[in-house]
Amino acid sequence: MLYEANLKRASALAFGLGATLAAAGPCDIYASGGNPCVAAHSTTRALYSSFSGALYQVKRNSDSATTTIAPLSAGGVANAAAQDTFCASTTCLITIIYDQSGKGNHLTQAPPGGFSGPEANGYDNLASAIGAPVTLNGQKAYGVFVSPGTGYRNDNTNGIATGDVAEGMYAVLDGTHYNSGCCFDYGNAETSNLDTGNGHMEAIYFGTSTAWGSGAGSGPWFMADMENNLFSGLSTGQNTGDPSISYRFFSAFLKGQPNQWALRGGNAASGSLSTYYSGARPSASGYNPMSKEGAIILGIGGDNSVSAQGTFYEGVMTSGYPSDATEASVQANIVAAGYATTSLTSGTALSTGSKVSLRVTTSGYDTRYIAHAGSTVNTQVVTTSSATALKQQASWTVVAGLGNSACVSFQSVDTPGSYIRHYNFALTLAANDGTKQFYEDATFCPKAGLSGTGSSFLAWGYPTRFFRHYENVMYIASQGGVDTFDATGSYNADVSFVVSSSFA
């Protein structure tokens, strides 16, 4: 109680002095509670009132140059405008998420483990720098959008709990971005990248996996990944005290100490935390005492399982077992940060209900339009005197994005009910099968053309990838990725299309 009173006094003083002193950040609050942060990661804001150093590093594809992004002021929101300037007319990846705690526990591209990532060397993919735009009290910032295959890790940490030693952690996540794959995690994992047995992890998990535990309803659920199990409560399997989450911004708080752990969560944009579980360690063998190893993972399972997706905005790990009161103060700080959604599109707006044709702009190919031949989506030469059938094949009805209505989907004019989707990163025309996977694979976010001409179409679920023609066939391609169609040459032109009224 005393530290809370002190905190309130400190905040009141800070506000009284005006803008020169920032209010306490989450890690200042944990420190006041006696549980200092030993890792503090965020691409959106400083997590200490005095922090003004690098939040994250981005790398651009045009020349492989890197830059670091810092808060606009000490304790403030990330300077997203600096990223936008640095990444103009190219694509950028988040290469390092710095640890603000001073312990040096930075997160970088996760290495292969029990499972290999999709990079040629078995590493995981890095996240797009533009996949998760948000605002914090009106100021733009970017979160970390984890597609399947993406992951960050640090196997050589400093100050993170090992064995049965107590720790706390929280993460702010996108409660609407998840899947059932293993495992979208943030927290403590193995230093070997291998599954070394029950109790060797203690990490926040978010998603709809039912391979181990589950909660009430159909999910998604916040569970604790303790290795070879996702726990939603005392017992293995379903615990209905763990609710399905429907908040756009979700605060997930996990903590563990000898024979005790707790799952607590709430709306990161308003209100307080609820306790989903607090009590004894699972009785299944290996989880009491724990055998934590102290590596840190983001977006993957302990053995580098890379099938999951989710979005991370900020998170920390602490020493000791924070009190519920300390966590309540941190939750209040998160709410006060003012997380809100912002536009996912830029450039020429595509009105839903309109019918469009999309012309290639690459020199030598610019009489071609995005069309389909059966289920293949390709580019074909089309003119006003082309046959009606071809004109229809090159005409698309714009509808609200099936997977996210802030973006769009393209319905075939000649095959109503069929849409452009990606599958194995090739575009294909397919009938809507009503699945979440279909909706997401059929959702694209229009952006100002990367070349400076027309529009580019970012894959909602894979925001490192744009619509691209390659040898006159359509893909979602990332510049410099592992596939032939990811080739760097003429990338900007190949991903830029001129939108016009449809041929048919």
> Site residues (CB under 6 A) for ligand AHR?
182-183, 195, 225, 227-230, 301-303, 305, 362, 365, 422-425, 437, 441, 461, 469-472, 487, 490, 494
List Cα–Cα distances, 218 to 45, 245, 246, 266, 299, in angstroms.
32, 9, 11, 18, 21
Which residue, 264 or 469, has its beta carbon nearer to ligand AHR? 469
User: Is 237:290 a contact under the CB 8 Å cutoff?
Assistant: no
Strands 295-298 and 455-459, by their bridges, are unpaired
Give the start-end residues of each E strand in 198-309.
202-207, 221-225, 230-231, 249-257, 260-267, 274-279, 295-298
Smallest separation (angstroms) from ligand AHR to the CB of 379 = 6
Q: Is 366 designated active site? A: no
Contacts 24+ apart (CB under 8 A), 259-268: 259/288, 259/289, 260/321, 261/202, 261/224, 263/222, 263/223, 263/224, 263/232, 263/233, 264/324, 264/327, 265/222, 266/331, 267/335, 268/172, 268/173, 268/331, 268/334, 268/335, 268/339
Give CA 386 to chain center in angstroms.
Answer: 43
Which residue, 4 or 483, has its beta carbon nearer to ligand AHR? 483
Please name which of 124, 94, 116, 119 lies closest in space to residue 106, comparing C-alpha atoms: 94
Smallest separation (angstroms) from ligand AHR to the CB of 392 = 22
Give the start-end residues of each E strand in 165-243.
167-174, 185-189, 202-207, 221-225, 230-231
Give the H or E element holding residue 327.
helix 324-337
Phi and psi of 14, rounded to 5°?
-60, -45
Smallest separation (angstroms) from ligand AHR to the CB of 135 = 28
The active-site residue, picked from 124, 167, 174, 227, is 227
Which residue, 45 or 177, has its beta carbon nearer to ligand AHR? 177
Which residue, 144 or 474, has its beta carbon nearer to ligand AHR? 474
Smallest separation (angstroms) from ligand AHR to the CB of 240 = 21
Which residue, 64 or 435, has its beta carbon nearer to ligand AHR? 435
Which residue, 130 or 203, has its beta carbon nearer to ligand AHR? 203
User: Is 457:466 a contact under the CB 8 Å cutoff?
Assistant: yes
Which residue, 24 or 182, has its beta carbon nearer to ligand AHR? 182
CA–CA separation, 92 and 61 (whole Å):
6
User: Is 484:470 a contact under the CB 8 Å cutoff?
Assistant: yes
Burial of 102 (0-12, 13-18, 19+ CB in 10 A): middle
Phi and psi of 494, rounded to 5°?
-65, -20
Which residue, 28 or 225, has its beta carbon nearer to ligand AHR? 225
Burial of 497 (0-12, 13-18, 19+ CB in 10 A): buried
Smallest separation (angstroms) from ligand AHR to the CB of 10 = 39
Phi and psi of 439, rounded to 5°?
-55, -45
CA–CA separation, 39 and 85 (whole Å):
29
Smallest separation (angstroms) from ligand AHR to the CB of 394 = 15
Smallest separation (angstroms) from ligand AHR to the CB of 1 = 37
The active-site residue, picked from 174, 185, 225, 303, is 303
User: Is 46:52 a contact under the CB 8 Å cutoff?
Assistant: yes
Smallest separation (angstroms) from ligand AHR to the CB of 157 = 17
Residue at token pair 């005790």: 260
Q: Is 227 designated active site? A: yes
Please name which of 403, 483, 486, 397 lies closest in space to residue 441, comparing C-alpha atoms: 403
Which residue, 60 or 422, has its beta carbon nearer to ligand AHR? 422
Which residue, 56 or 221, has its beta carbon nearer to ligand AHR? 221
Cα end-to-end distance, the chain, whole Å: 70
CA–CA separation, 44 and 25 (whole Å):
13
Instruction: Name the residue with the smallest CB distance to ligand AHR.
Output: 301
Give the H or E element holding residue 494.
helix 491-494
Catalytic residue numbers, as ranges:
227, 303
